[in-house]
Structure 1
Amino acid sequence: MTGSFTVRAPASSANLGPGFDSLGLSVPLHTTLRVTPQDVTEVVPLGPELEGTPADESNYVYRAMLLAARRAGQPLPPARVEIWTDVPLARGLGSSAAALVAGIVAGNELLGRPLTDEVVLDVAAREEGHPDNVAPALFGGIVVATLDKLGTHYVRLDPPANLGVTVLVPDFELSTSKARAVLPREYSRADAVHALSHAALLAAALAQGRLDLLRHAMQDYIHQVWRAPLVPGLSDILESAHEYGALGAALSGAGPTVLCFHDTRGSTAPLHAYLNGVMARNGLTGRVMDFGIDTRGTVVERD
């Protein structure tokens, strides 16, 4: 494939409470690649978020491009790959998934698109180990997805009308490996039934626009209760955010970002004040931001 092109993959918020490793949505922050075919390979990370990341073929984005080539059974043509992002790293907003999806899509584009979108998703989900971030990063919107021996299977939902997202992004990092290490190896039948029923209710509520059910459907005992000690103030937010206008609240991915749904027809000022107050009481700094749900997913633009 000749000519330069740009790939933009969005951030994502996974789990949304009970949808552990299977449910996520797309957020309009992006990892962007500029790919220019040339005689030698160059990897060029740009901007403050990527300071210190590898500027060679060991870069995660470039390794993701190689995954596409391996799945296609073709060598990856040399190119200059410029990378920049406004997705905060290690905050629970799918920064690794955005980089992975952008890289696989870029590699596929460079090869002439031998892989279908479904195969791209499967490559990404198997590399990540779960599809909850990579599926919304690829397709946008809200995605329910599973990964098994037969493949990666998904249903994409358009966001309900009037559903907005408020995120609290603390100024500290939390690695996914550390957040997974605190989870128990086994769960009780009661906790399993609670997770299944609430994840099913959440998917149904999002599919039918039942914003009134989100607060109840987003309850979770599988991961949030165990990760709460790693995120000061999380328990308070999960318990009380609805009193300040949140339709529901959840830890975003592995954290430490916290996601709240809100109704876009109302003001989020009380919710912002509450979330900033929680941070202040716990000695934290960070940002509180409102977003719509990104519906475009990963986009490729050619010159």
Structure 2
Amino acid sequence: MKYTITVPASTANLGSGFDTFGMALALHDVVEVEVTGSGLAVEVIDAGAGDMSGVPTDESHLVVRALRRACRYLDISVPGIVLRCHNAIPHSRGLGSSAAAVVAGVAAGYALAGKDIDGSALQLAAEFEGHADNAAASLLGGFVVAWQSGSTYHAERLVPHSAIRPVVAIPEVRSATEQTRGLLPDRVPHRDAAFAASRSALAVHAVTARPDLLFAATEDRLHQDYREPAYPASVRLMRALRSRGVAAVISGAGPTVLALTTTGILPDGVDVAGFEVIELPVDLVGVRLCVS
């Protein structure tokens, strides 16, 4: 049998919900998995104009690692695998490319085991990154609130308001999550923590019921300003959009800028040179599996 797994991109944080909020976006990686008699063959087909250069095609490939991890958990063995990865999610841009790869591998493992994806899939996927926001969004679709209890990851899926039309501005430059996390302080002032708590609570209401509150709900004091040295052009664009009343944030670890609009377009007069601007609807489904 051949299994085709389709996984959406994701955006995380949404400004105020650092390591907590995620949203699936309608940009998809497609992974084909076929069981063979022996060996491993990995083919990477890049829809992202060279993003896949240097991506391994052996056991260290992220989809393969996640698939192997799921197979061990599900106690199945696979003699050989042919893997074809059709990638559309740009790498290292803050759109959840690594989480999508992990979710694809985990979903493939469940498919090979003949099991439905359950709550343990989130645990397997989140363990790769140490937080569940992107993985939960790619798994479940929609808007997710993720949290961790000890070593256990959890997420709840919510339906975003139908008026929300996300727009992303994707730069050519990349960033590494490890690098941008290194820019964050170990401690923040109590007033900033209280500010973050109020805005993240408001964001749940804004995303699901009151899009008119998104501007205030996406205000952040925990991470974006600290990360400005990693991608100053992205932060400048985010601030320019916010000065026009747009609920703009840095997507995940950056450097993509996410605008939560109700129009699907950015206002005139904002300089987007160096960015590819795309409207990406919310993906309400999450990971899909097709058997052929």
Check whether TM > 0.5.
Answer: yes
Contact in 1 for aligned 2:175/2:253 (Cα 8 Å): yes
How many residues align structurally? Answer: 288
- Which residue is equivalent to 2:193? 192
- For 1:206 and 1:183, how far apart are their aligned partners in 2? 26
Q: Equivalents in 2 of 1:128, 1:137: separation in Å? A: 13
Q: In the alignment, what sits opposite 1:39? A: 37
2:265 to 258, 265, 268: 268
Q: Map 1:12-161 to 2 at 5 A.
A: 12-40=10-38, 41-47=40-46, 48-113=50-115, 116-149=117-150, 151-161=152-162
Residue 25 of structure 2 contacts residue 283 of structure 2 at CA under 8 Å; is this kept in 1? yes
Identity %: 36
How far did residue 269 of structure 1 move? 5.3
Counterpart residue identity of residue 216, structure 1: A
Distance 1:162 1:88 in 2: 26
**1:257 aligned partner:** 256
Residues 301, 213 of structure 1: alpha-carbon distance in 2 compared, 3 angstrom cutoff = same
CA-CA distance at 1:245 after TM superposition: 6.2
- Asked whether the equivalents of residues 133 and 145 of structure 2 are also in contact (C-alpha less than 8 Å), the reply is yes
Shift of the alpha carbon at 1:73? Answer: 2.8
- Structure 1 residues 103, 291: closer, same or farther in 2, change over 3 A? same
Q: Which residue of 2 aligns with 1:172?
A: 173
Could you tell which deviates more after superposition, 232-241 or 196-205?
Answer: 232-241
Report which of the two has the higher share of helix. 1
TM-score (normalizing by structure 2): 0.93
- When structure 1 is superposed on structure 2, of 54-63 and 92-101 the one drifting more is 54-63
- Structure-2 change in CA distance of 1:295 and 1:231 (3 Å): same
5+ residue gaps, structure 2, are none
2:291 corresponds to: 302
- Runs of 4+ aligned structure 1 residues displaced above 4 Å come to 242-245
Q: CA deviation at 1:214?
A: 0.6
> What is the RMSD of the two structures over their aligned residues, measured on CA atoms?
1.7
Q: Distance in 2 between matches of 1:194 and 1:302?
A: 47
Relative to structure 1, is the Cα distance of residues 23 and 231 closer, same or farther in structure 2, using a 3 angstrom cutoff?
A: same
Aligned-residue offset at 1:244: 4.3
Structure 1 residues without counterparts, runs of 5 or longer: none
Between 1:36-45 and 1:7-16, the stretch displaced more is 36-45
Question: Which position in structure 2 is the counterpart of 1:220?
Answer: 220
Q: 1:11-41 CA distances to partner (integer Å, 9 max, x unpaired)?
A: 1000000111110101111121111111122
- CA shift for structure 1 position 242: 4.2
